[in-house]
Every structure is written in C-alpha cells, then in structure tokens.
C-alpha cells in the first residue's frame, strides 16, 4: 500500500548500461480489461546525430538506456532541443538511430505497427472529414469493419464529451475540442503502446488540465504502456509513474524519478496536493540546471 | 452505449448544424439578387434610352427592344438553340478531354520527380504561347469542323487543369502526411485518403477556370472558322452588320455560360461543404 508519507522522489542514476528497472511497480504489468497486453519498450544505447546546415555533426542523443515496463507510464522531460522528440521518433520507427536499438515487446519497431498509437501536439484532423469520420480514420486504415468503426467512434466521442459534435466539421471546434477528437482517434484502435509527443502543449492552461484528466481516466481503462514527451514538468508528474529527466543537448538521461502518487489520480486535486508539489520542487531543481543558461 | 436511436438523433443534429448557416446566407442572398436585378435593369434601360435618343447609333449598338425579341425568336424557332448545341458539344468534349488529360498530367508531375523536372519547363513554355494565334494552324492540320475547335479548347484548358492539379497535390499538410506515415499508409491509401482530398479545392478551382476557357476557345475557334456553331453565327452577323442578331446570339451565350458555371459551382459546394466552414472558421 502506497501512502503519501513518502517524502521526496529519489533520483535513480542510470549508471549501468542495462537501463533502469521500475522501482515503484505502480504501473508494472498493468493491463486493461479489454486492451491487449501492454508491451515493454526498451532503448539500448541509443546515440543519434544530425548534420546541421553548415555540415557540422550535431549530437542529439548520447547513450540513452531506458526500459519502460509493460503498462508503465513514463514521461520524458527536458529542455527544448534535448532530443526528446527524436527519441520518440526512434521508438516509433520514424527514424533509425545511428547507434543502438529499440525494441517493443522484443521486436524492432516499424511505422504502421497497429499496436502503437501516436498523439501529437497538433491534432492533424482532416478538415474534409466530420468529427466522426476523423475518429474513424485510424480504424479505417487498420481495416476495422464499418459498423464496428462507427460504434466505437461514437462511444469514444461520448468518453471525451463530444457526443453532440459527431457531425460537425473540425473547423467548427475549439482547439481543446479538436485535441479531444485526436485523442479519441488515437485510442480508437486500442494501442498497446501509446507515444505522446507534447499532446497538450498547444492548449491553454485550464483546457490542458481538463484534457490531461480526461486522458488519464481513459488510459486507466486501456492500460497501455505510455511514453510521454513533454516540457511541462507538472504534466509529467501528474500523469506518469516515472519521470525521466534529460540534459540539454546532447541529450543524456540525467535522472529518473519514480512518482509515487497513488492512483487513480485526479489531475485537479493534484494541483493542491502537497506530495505533488514536493515532487515538483525536487525534480525542478534538477531540471532548472538544464533550462537556465550556463 | 450508443443505440440506433442515438445515431438517428445524431443524423438530425447534423442536418440542423448544416442547415443553419445556409439559411443565414439565403437571407443575405435575397438582397444581393435584388441589387443584381437593379444593375441589369439599369444597364439595359440606359442602353435602350441612349439608342432610342440616337445618342448611340442603333446600327452599331442595336437596342434591347430589338435584340431581346431576336434572341427569343432564335430560341423559340430553335435556330439559335441548334447552333448553341454545336458550340456546347465542342465545349464539353474539349473540356472533358482537357480535364482527363490535365488530371493525369498533374498527377504524374506531382508524383514523379523526373517527369516534373523534364516536362514542366516545356509545359510552362507551351502554356505561354497565345493559343488563339494557333487556331488557324489547328484548322490547317485538323480541317474545318468540330475537331480543330476541340483541339484549340484542349490546348487552352489542359494546362489550367494540369497546373492546378499539380499545385493541389503538393499542398498536402505535413501533419497529415506524418499521420499517414505513422499509420503505415501505403502509397495508394496515402493518395486516396490524404493527398487527393486536400488537393480537391485547388482542382475544382482549376476545373472552373478551364470551363470558362473552354467556352472561350469554342466561340473564338468557331468565329475564326466562320462556318459553324454560335461562334460562326456571331461572326457571320457581325460581317453583315446585323448587330441585332449579333447581340441576340450573345444574350443566349451569356445565359448558357452562366448556367453551366452555376452548375459546376453547385457541384463544388456540395462536394466541398467542409471548405465553407474551414474558410469561415466559425464555432457551433
């Protein structure tokens, strides 16, 4: 039984090459009632570099080792330009690392894997499809039969509170509503591994909390493994089982913090939760070193 | 859980949400229509006045009281209509051929880098040639008759459709392409579900313009041949100073061109309904 008596997060330094084993077990092995068994995601010695415009080689990632347990929610936080998004792109198969490898459930990943769901900062809704049509899109590409598609899409629209907007066009929705549609679209295929690239960053402060809360409760029923990329530390702590802190470029893992807050969590009550703020201060001290100019 | 009744209610919702802005624009349209009517009455009224008072010589400008009856006579006897039919035939065949060829060419340019690099300079070059000047050449090559007119139309409209298709197919949003990639969409699915719909507005704009040019090509081509269709009729009437018949034929041409353009716009509005919302950006 976890209680709130735990003082502060203890940073775990990823010194050995084997990656960090989850220390809390909060999310380990979690599997939703109807979702498929959640996979583990493993980064092994990932290093990556880009050629900049003047031809010099810029190291984006340097020796990343990280193991995400099945059903675990891991948030990767770091200053902008630390290679967070590159890390996610590598995990998704969109980019190949120069050094090292990634595995999801023991397999190399490729794009179009039906077990993997993506959520981006920009909603990428198709303006020529209705809200319902947009939620159906991923299922359509994965070959889900029409009736089931519509049935699931309507149920998800209900879950994200957009029952009345199924027939609307994306242009008629606010930014927050559009991102809800994107969430519904991503979750509709019931991905076992969810990759979130700053999905709430384009929203205003209040809408952000509302959507984080909605997402957290949907995730609880789905039980997928989640890797969240964010620059918002509060968001990382509120949602994740572990917060991985990255250094300013070249991106290395600076520290890993288990977030031992009980679940289910209400994002709203966390805002005034003492333990939440202790975690925040603890991690922020380390993050600030990376964010503030040297 | 969602039931069939819910889906039904949903469909009603959709109907309501779609009908609302349309009704609003209808009210606005009535005012615009009245103003348009006033412009027409004003134009022909002052035309009639200037001609009746001999300020303008009716031999040169005819007068509405003459050419509207001439137009009506031509329509009721069917003389003008059969001429119009010849012109419309050339217009539609030319437009259809130009559209099909233009869509294919635009697709090939957008999809294959090599074709784009090799062919586009030639297309741009040929497109800058004033095609009307080539009309006599087309008559020489393809003879007097519908074929040379159709070739003239294709030479005008093809490039418009090809370039607007090309531009449209390249306008696909990067976020949408990334989404398609993460979903593992193959070449065909990506084209069908992401690239083509985003190109539709540009393609429709091109088709509309191409239709206008098809009409232009048909009438000018016929006028230069001087023998067939409404264009030939207009050239003949002009040649014999029958300005009344000339304007009578012109009235029919304008009415038909407006009807056809209106039909195309109606199809576009229907197919690209989302576009109105995208441009207006209103919330429900």
What pLDDT was estimated at residue A26?
Answer: 41
Of the pLDDT bands very low, low, confident and very high (cuts 50, 70, 90), residue B281 is low
Tell which of B3, B183, B268, B271 to mutate to test the A interface (max A CBs under 10 Å). B183
Residue from A202, A151, A154, A150 nearest A175 by CA: A202
Query: How many residues does this entry show for chain B?
Result: 284
pTM for the structure as a whole: 0.79
Share of chain A above pLDDT 70, in %: 87
What pLDDT was estimated at residue A7?
Answer: 40
Q: Do A169 and B274 touch (CB under 8 A)?
A: yes
Tell which of A124, A142, A158, A197 to mutate to test the B interface (max B CBs under 10 Å). A124
Q: Where in chain A is the domain with CATH 3.40.50.300?
A: 12-115+193-206+213-294
Please tell me which residue of chain A has the smallest CA distance to B198.
A128
Q: For residues A197 and A117, what is the distance between their CA atoms, to the nearest angstrom?
A: 11
Say whether pLDDT at A14 is over 70. no
Q: How close B216 gets to chain A, by Cα (Å)?
A: 33
Q: Lowest mean pLDDT: which of A61-70, A132-141, A272-281, B13-22?
A: B13-22
- Describe the strand order of the beta sheet including A73-77 as a list of residue ranges: A116-119, A193-197, A225-230, A73-77, A242-246, A253-258
Per-residue pLDDT averaged across B73-80, rounded? 91
Write out chain B residues lying below 8 Å of A166, CB-based.
Answer: 10, 13-14
First to last CA, chain B: 25
Fold classification of B61-280 is MetI-like fold (1.10.3720)
Tell which of B14, B176, B184, B195 to mutate to test the A interface (max A CBs under 10 Å). B184
What pLDDT was estimated at residue A134?
Answer: 96
Q: How close A165 gets to chain B, by Cα (Å)?
A: 8
Write out chain A residues lying below 8 Å of B200, CB-based.
Answer: 128
Query: In the predicted model, what is the mean pLDDT of chain B?
Result: 87
Q: Does B175 touch chain A (CB under 8 A)?
A: yes
Q: How close A9 gets to chain B, by Cα (Å)?
A: 35
Per-residue pLDDT averaged across B216-225, rounded? 93
Say whether pLDDT at A2 is over 50. no
Q: How close A267 gets to chain B, by Cα (Å)?
A: 26
Tell which of A94, A95, A141 to mutate to test the B interface (max B CBs under 10 Å). A141
Per-residue pLDDT averaged across B38-52, rounded? 94
Residues 92-151 of A with CB under 8 A from B: 92, 94, 110-114, 116, 118, 120, 122, 124, 126-130, 137-138, 140-142, 150-151
Q: Do A120 and B178 touch (CB under 8 A)?
A: yes
Query: In the predicted model, what is the mean pLDDT of chain A?
Result: 83
Q: What is the 3-state secondary structure (H, E, C) of chain A?
A: CCCCCCCCCCCECCCCCCCCCCCCCCCCCCCCCCCCCCCCEEEEEEEEEEECCCCCEEEEEEEEEEEECCCCEEEEECCCCCCHHHHHHHHHCCCCCCEEEEEECCECCCCCCCCEEEECCCCCCCCCCCHHHHHHHHHHHCCCCHHHHHHHHHHHHHHCCCHHHCCCCHHHCCHHHHHHHHHHHHHCCCCCEEEEECCCCCCCHHHHHHHHHHHHHHHHHHCCEEEEEECCHHHHHHHCCEEEEECCCCECEEEEEECCCCCCCCHHHHCCCHHHHHHHHHHHHHHHHHHCCC
Q: Does A268 touch chain B (CB under 8 A)?
A: no
What pLDDT was estimated at residue B279?
Answer: 81
Query: How many residues does this entry show for chain A?
Result: 294
Say whether pLDDT at A4 is over 90. no
| The CATH number, out of the four listed (3.40.1390.30, 3.40.50.300, 2.60.200.30, 3.40.640.10), of the domain defined by the range A12-115+193-206+213-294 | 3.40.50.300
Residue from A173, A79, A99, A93 nearest A132 by CA: A173
The DSSP element (H or E) to which B274 belongs, if any, is helix B273-280
Write out chain A residues lying below 8 Å of B196, CB-based.
Answer: none
Tokens representing B124 are: 């741009």
Per-residue pLDDT averaged across B198-214, rounded? 93
Task: Tell me which residue in B182, B198, B282 faces A172 most closely, judged by beta carbons.
Answer: B282
Share of chain B above pLDDT 70, in %: 89
Residues 41-80 of B with CB under 8 A from A: none
Per-residue pLDDT averaged across A107-135, rounded? 89
What pLDDT was estimated at residue B271?
Answer: 85
Q: Residue B131 carries which DSSP code?
A: G
Q: How close B4 gets to chain A, by Cα (Å)?
A: 10
Q: How close B208 gets to chain A, by Cα (Å)?
A: 20
Say whether pLDDT at A141 is over 90. yes
What pLDDT was estimated at residue A239?
Answer: 93
Per-residue pLDDT averaged across B242-260, rounded? 92
Say whether pLDDT at A186 is over 70. yes
What pLDDT was estimated at residue B25?
Answer: 64
Write the pLDDT tens digit of every residue in B143-182. 898 999 999 999 999 999 999 999 999 999 999 999 999 9
Say whether pLDDT at A102 is over 60. yes
Per-residue pLDDT averaged across A176-189, rounded? 93
């Amino acid at each position: 039984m976890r209680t709130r008596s735990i003082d502060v997060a203890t940073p775990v330094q990823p010194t050995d090459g084997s990656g960090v084993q989850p220390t809390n077990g909060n999310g380990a092995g979690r599997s939703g009632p109807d979702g498929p068994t959640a996979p583990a995601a493993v980064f092994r010695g990932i290093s990556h570099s880009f050629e900049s415009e003047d031809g010099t080689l810029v190291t984006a990632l340097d020796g990343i080792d990280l193991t995400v347990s099945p059903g675990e929610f891991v948030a990767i936080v770091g200053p902008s330009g630390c290679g967070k998004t590159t890390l996610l792109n590598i995990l998704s198969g969109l980019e190949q690392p120069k050094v090292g490898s990634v595995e999801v459930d023991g397999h190399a990943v490729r794009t179009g894997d039906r077990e993997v769901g993506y959520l981006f900062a920009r909603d990428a809704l198709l303006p020529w499809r209705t809200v319902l049509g947009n939620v159906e899109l991923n299922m359509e590409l994965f070959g889900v039969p029409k009736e089931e598609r519509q049935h699931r899409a309507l149920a998800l629209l209900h879950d994200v509170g957009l029952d009345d907007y199924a027939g609307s066009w994306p242009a008629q929705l606010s930014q927050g509503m559009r991102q809800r549609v994107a969430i519904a679209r991503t979750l509709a295929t019931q991905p076992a591994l969810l990759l979130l690239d700053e999905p709430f960053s384009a929203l205003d402060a209040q809408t952000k909390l509302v959507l984080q809360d909605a997402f957290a409760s949907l995730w609880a029923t789905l039980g997928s493994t989640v890797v969240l990329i964010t620059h918002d530390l509060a968001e990382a702590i509120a949602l994740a089982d572990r917060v991985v802190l990255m250094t300013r470029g070249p991106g290395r893992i600076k520290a890993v913090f288990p977030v031992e807050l009980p679940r289910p969590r209400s994002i709203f009550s966390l805002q005034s939760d003492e333990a939440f703020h202790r975690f925040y201060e603890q991690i922020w001290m380390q993050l600030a070193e990376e964010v503030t100019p040297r | 859980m969602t039931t069939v009744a819910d889906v039904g209610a949903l469909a009603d919702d959709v109907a309501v949400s779609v009908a609302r802005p349309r009704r609003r624009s209808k009210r606005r349209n009535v005012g615009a229509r009245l103003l348009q009517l006033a412009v027409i009455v004003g134009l022909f009224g002052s035309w009639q006045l200037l001609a009746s008072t001999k300020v303008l010589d009716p031999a040169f400008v005819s007068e509405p009281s003459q050419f509207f009856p001439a137009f009506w006579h031509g329509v009721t006897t069917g003389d003008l209509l059969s001429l119009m039919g010849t012109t419309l035939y050339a217009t539609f065949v030319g437009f259809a051929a130009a559209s099909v060829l233009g869509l294919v060419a635009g697709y090939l340019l957008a999809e294959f880098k090599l074709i784009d690099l090799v062919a586009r300079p030639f297309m741009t070059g040929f497109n800058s040639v004033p095609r009307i000047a080539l009309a006599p050449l087309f008559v020489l090559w393809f003879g007097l008759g519908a074929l040379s007119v159709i070739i003239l139309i294709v030479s005008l409209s093809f490039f418009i459709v090809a370039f607007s298709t090309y531009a449209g197919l390249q306008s696909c949003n990067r976020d949408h392409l990334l989404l398609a990639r993460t979903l593992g969409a193959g070449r065909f699915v990506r084209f069908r579900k992401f690239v083509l719909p985003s190109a539709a507005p540009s393609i429709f704009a091109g088709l509309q313009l191409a239709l206008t040019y098809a009409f232009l090509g048909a009438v000018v081509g016929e006028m230069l041949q001087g023998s067939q269709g409404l264009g030939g009729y207009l050239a003949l009437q002009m040649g014999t100073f029958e300005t009344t018949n000339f304007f009578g034929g012109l009235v029919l041409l304008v009415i038909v061109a407006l009807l056809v353009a209106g039909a195309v716009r109606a199809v576009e509005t229907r197919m690209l309904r989302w576009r109105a919302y995208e441009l207006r950006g209103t919330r429900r």
